[in-house]
Every structure is written in structure tokens, then in C-alpha cells.
A = this chain, B = another copy of it.
Amino acid sequence: MSAPARAGARAVRAPSGQLHEIQAPVRERLDEVAAELQRVVVADFPMIEAITGHLLSMKGKMFRPTLTLLASAVEGRPEPRAIPLAAVVELVHLATLVHDDSVDHSTLRRGMPTINALFTHQISVIMGDFLYSRAVVELVRVGDMAPLQVLAHATNQMTIGEMRQLTALDALRFSEDDYDALIHAKTASLLSAACEIGAIAGAAPHRQALARYGLQLGMAFQIVDDLLDYTADASTTGKPTGLDLREHKVTLPLIHALRHVRAPGRAVVERLFAESEPDDELIANVIGIVEEYGGLDYARSRGERFAEEAADALSKLPDSRATAALRDAIVYVMERTQ
């Protein structure tokens, strides 16, 4: 965690990885974003409140809109349109969650049933389409082409990333470059867009720096996410979930380990990928192999490099509360445990 710590030293106070502290400088506006989301989503569907109510309960931590609001405030002059823009960023995020769950046939997200599980697959597909097209309607209402351009590009990138993942033929030949391209498209592009759009609405001179910050933060975010799949305890079992392995998803820890593992270990990994429903023991074995061959350390250090790059991108921003909070967001991303 050297990078965020160093970066944090630039701020007046010690860096904090607590989300509520990161959100403190934009707390009130974040509530307005939530109200805006409520308005946008519910307005059109009085007949299916059950769905929209559930959807809004999925909105979770509002990390992306937080980034948008903070980015818009780094010069102390956030524009009012940062609020609808932040809501649109979250709408697009929700749309992708709904479609991802539908594509993966996921039944749970953050411990809650997915739209997919609660209603039908059909409703998931159309609900995602509704959310995305509604986001575009709202962007048009804001009336500036620049945020539209950023978000359209990011969402298109995200679909290309998903498609890459779906059409990857031989999982075990998935390279580090493939992985970088995938997480760039599927995660970093939206975090980058969230920050760049914020910059457009109040900190235009820092647009490029904030876009770069969001991109690096997004890369770190996804690497940590993928690491947690190897290291975090599932609350019920106390064992790592290994869900990605179960679903034959190859992420950075395994990619690195496969470069060094010897024949017997490789054979175990191959066995897991050949079984349509690998059991817990096999998954635990592969997690052990990945750890033994340095996969977790390697992924961690790459995550930290991205965190350093994110901190570096902030280095020329004005020293404001918002800038300090963006620096804290790096700590938050790196220290997440779930």
C-alpha cells in the first residue's frame, strides 16, 4: 500500500479508506443524485414498482457517482449538471449489472436476489435496455455533447469487453494482455468516464488527468476484485469463494501462476477447466497452486502499480477536499475486503 500512502501524504490529513469519509465532501449532492435516480427510474413504470423498487435497492455504494461529483469539485466550482450526470453514470452501471446478471444467470448480487432471479430473464433484458436508453435520454436533456461522447464510448467498450470474455475460446491461453484489455473495457472504462464526465462539469482543465485517474483506479479496482475471489472468505463457509474458477473465468492470479507452474500443478488446473462443475476440493487445490506460484503477490503488486499511477494522475490537481477524497478513494479500492 505504499502508493496511496505516499500520495496521501500530500493532503493535510492522513489518508482514509472509509467510503463515508470519501463521500463527505459531496454528501448532500449524493443525496440529490439518489433522488434523481428515483425520479428517472420510477417515473415511467408505475405499473411495475416491484421491479423499480428492487432495482433502486441494488444501487449500493454509489461509488461511481461519488467519483463524478468529486471530480466536478476539484476546483471548488462544481456545476449543477454534475448531479444529473452522476445519476446517469449510475444508471449505466445499473444497466450493465442487470444484463451481466442475466448473461451469467446469476441469482444473487450483494446478497440480494437479482432481477433475473426475482422476475424473469425477459424482464432483465428489457429492464437493462430501459435503463440504458433512459440514461441517453437524460444525457440529451442535459444538452451537452461531451459527456454523451464519453459515456457512449465507455458503454460500447464495455460491451466489447463482455463479448471478448464470452467468445474467448481457450480459457487457459488467456494472456495478461488479454486480461488487461478485458478489465480495461469492462471496468476501467466506466470509472474513467465517471471521472471525465465530472471534470467536464466543473473542472474542465483537468479533464485528461481525471480520465487517466479513473482509468488507473478502475484497473486497480478490478484486479483487487479478482484477487478477492481468491482470498476473501465467503461469509458462510469461511473459505475463499473461488467463484471465478468455478465458472472457468481466468483472472490475473491464475494467468501469472500458469507461467511458472510445473506439469503436475498444471494438470490440476487443466482438470478444473475440463470439469463443468468442479468441486470445492479441486477449487481449493487450484487456489493453493496459484498462491504457491506467486499469483496472488503478482496481482497485488500490479494492482499497486495501477494505484500509484492513479495517485500520479492526481498530482497536478488543486489541493482541495475533493482532490484529497479522490486520493482516499485509491486507498478504499486497494483496502477493500469484500
Residues of A at the B interface (CB closer than 8 Å) are 44-45, 47-48, 99, 102-104, 120-123, 125-130, 132-134, 136-137, 139-140, 143, 145, 148-149, 152-153, 155-156, 158-160, 162-164, 166-167
Whether the pair B159, A130 counts as a contact (CB closer than 8 A) is yes
Question: Taking the nearest CB of chain B, how far is it from the CB of A152, in angstroms?
Answer: 4
Whether the pair A132, B130 counts as a contact (CB closer than 8 A) is no
Whether the pair A163, B132 counts as a contact (CB closer than 8 A) is no
Per the bound structure, the CA–CA distance linking A166 and B149 in Å amounts to 32
Whether the pair B156, A99 counts as a contact (CB closer than 8 A) is no
Whether A120 contacts B156 in the complex (CB less than 8 A), given A126-B103, A132-B129, A136-B136, comes out as no
Per the bound structure, the CA–CA distance linking A160 and B166 in Å amounts to 28
Whether the pair A134, B163 counts as a contact (CB closer than 8 A) is no
Whether the pair A129, B128 counts as a contact (CB closer than 8 A) is yes
Per the bound structure, the CA–CA distance linking A158 and B125 in Å amounts to 13
A103, A130, A159, A162 interface centre (most CB from chain B within 10 Å)? A159
Partner of A136, one of B103, B122, B148: B148
Q: Knowing that A129-B159, A133-B155, A140-B145 touch, tell me 7 more A-B residue pairs with CB under 8 angstroms.
A: A103-B122, A126-B159, A130-B160, A133-B156, A136-B155, A137-B153, A148-B148
Whether the pair B45, A126 counts as a contact (CB closer than 8 A) is no
Question: Taking the nearest CB of chain B, how far is it from the CB of A114, in angstroms?
Answer: 14
Partner of A152, one of B44, B121, B127, B133: B133
Measured between beta carbons, the chain B residues less than 8 angstroms from A121 are 103, 121
Question: Taking the nearest CB of chain B, how far is it from the CB of A95, in angstroms?
Answer: 8
Whether the pair A149, B140 counts as a contact (CB closer than 8 A) is yes
A-B contact pairs, 8 of them (CB 8 A): A103-B122, A126-B159, A126-B162, A126-B166, A129-B155, A133-B158, A136-B148, A139-B152
Per the bound structure, the CA–CA distance linking A162 and B120 in Å amounts to 13
Whether the pair B122, A166 counts as a contact (CB closer than 8 A) is yes
Measured between beta carbons, the chain B residues less than 8 angstroms from A167 are 47-48, 123
Measured between beta carbons, the chain B residues less than 8 angstroms from A137 are 152-153, 156
Whether A45 contacts B160 in the complex (CB less than 8 A), given A102-B125, A136-B136, A166-B126, comes out as yes
Per the bound structure, the CA–CA distance linking A127 and B129 in Å amounts to 12
Whether the pair A136, B152 counts as a contact (CB closer than 8 A) is yes
Whether the pair B149, A44 counts as a contact (CB closer than 8 A) is no
Whether the pair B128, A152 counts as a contact (CB closer than 8 A) is no
Per the bound structure, the CA–CA distance linking A156 and B163 in Å amounts to 24
